[in-house]
Amino acid sequence: MADFSRIALLTDFGASSPYVGQLRLGLAAALPGTAVIELISDLPAFRPDLAAYLLPALVRDLPCGTLYLCVVDPGVGGDRLAIAVEADGNLFIGPDNGLLALVCRSALSCCVYRIDWRPEILSPSFQGRDLFAPVAAALTLGRPLAMTAIAPTSLQGAEWPEDLPKVIYVDSFGNLITGLRAALLQPADSICVKGQQLSRAGTFHEVPLGTAFWYANAFGLVELAVNQGSATLELGLEVGDEIAMSPFPKLISESINE
């Protein structure tokens, strides 16, 4: 595996939680001098099926050579696998519950490994600290670790569609990020939510204060927003809610239903 210059944490642990803090203290002791950065700590709780669509978008424009430690893990302590995904010069570590499915699918090159190594002491509820963080430390240091190459097609979520017409994340402003890649839509397309048609704008200040619209966000995803307002409040939408495009693109329709 490549050398990794920095570690990014992507979790649903919450802001300022002791869970992120414990990960960081363990990593700081194992890897003094390596930058460890919280990329996001409020991924939708218990929802790897939604977070999966945010991950490739989030890392798309970030520098290569990063180890992404990813934990949204409602099945922790059960029999789900622990996996490492080497994709386009980055390494992703996390549970095999679909969380890394879209990172894998959207990569130009991708190798997947089952992590066979287990620590001596492994709490049933916090494997981010006890399993994934030590694995991240070992791989950053280039230490050998028991892993087995497996087929990307064997991963949970390998058959999921490439786009998801749902709200996958609500940011602190109330903007609604969807699982639709913006490149799929034409500027004249609109998004339908609860009987309302939203038109596209280039960015916020192009529409009047308080007006809802959709735009291609800085991660390349379709985002529903309100200029200087909260789309989640104005539109009454939350994480997991469905949206629709108009006209409904054939491409999406097929990949969802096939």
For 197, the enclosing helix (H) or strand (E) is: strand 196-198
Instruction: Tell me the number of residues near a second copy by CB under 8 A.
Output: 61
Q: In the complex, what is the shortest distance from the CB of residue 151 to a second copy, in angstroms, rounded to a whole number?
A: 25
Site for a second copy in 134-193 (CB under 8 A): 169, 171-173
75 touches a second copy (CB under 8 A): yes
| DSSP secondary structure letters along 53-103 | HHHHHHHTTSPSSEEEEEE--TTTTSSPPEEEEEETTEEEEEESSSTTHHH
Q: Two tokens at 116?
A: 């066979």
Beta-carbon neighbour count of residue 77 at 10 Å? 12
Tokens coding 50: 């939604």
Question: What residues pair up with 212 in beta bridges, in sequence order?
Answer: 226
Question: From CA 64, how far away is CA 61, in angstroms rounded?
Answer: 9
Encoded one letter per residue, x for contact with a second copy by CB under 8 A and - for no contact, window 221-250 reads -------x----------------------
Binding flags for a second copy, 35-74, as an x/- string (CB under 8 A):
x-xxxxxx--xx-------x---x--xxx-xx-------x
Residue 136 · residue 67 · CB < 8 Å: yes
Does 256 bind a second copy (CB under 8 A)? Our answer is: no
Q: Which is nearer to a second copy, 65 or 236 (CB)?
A: 65
| Sole window of 7-15, 85-93, 109-117, 180-188 interacting with a second copy (rule: CB under 8 A) | 7-15
User: For residues 39 and 245, which CB has a smaller minimum distance to a second copy in the complex?
Assistant: 39
Cα–Cα dist 225/217, whole Å = 10
Non-local (6+) Cβ contacts of 196 within 8 A are 212, 235
- 157 vs 249, which CB is nearer to a second copy? 157
**Identified binder of a second copy from the candidate list 69, 72, 76, 237, rule CB under 8 A:** 76
- Minimal distance, residue 137 CB to a second copy, in Å: 11
Question: Residue 82, interface with a second copy (CB under 8 A)?
Answer: no
Alpha carbon 256 to its chain centroid, in Å, reads: 19
Give the footprint of a second copy on this chain (CB under 8 A): 5-6, 8, 13-22, 24-26, 28-29, 32, 35, 37-42, 45-46, 54, 58, 61-63, 65-66, 74-78, 121, 123-126, 129-130, 169, 171-173, 202-206, 215, 217-219, 228
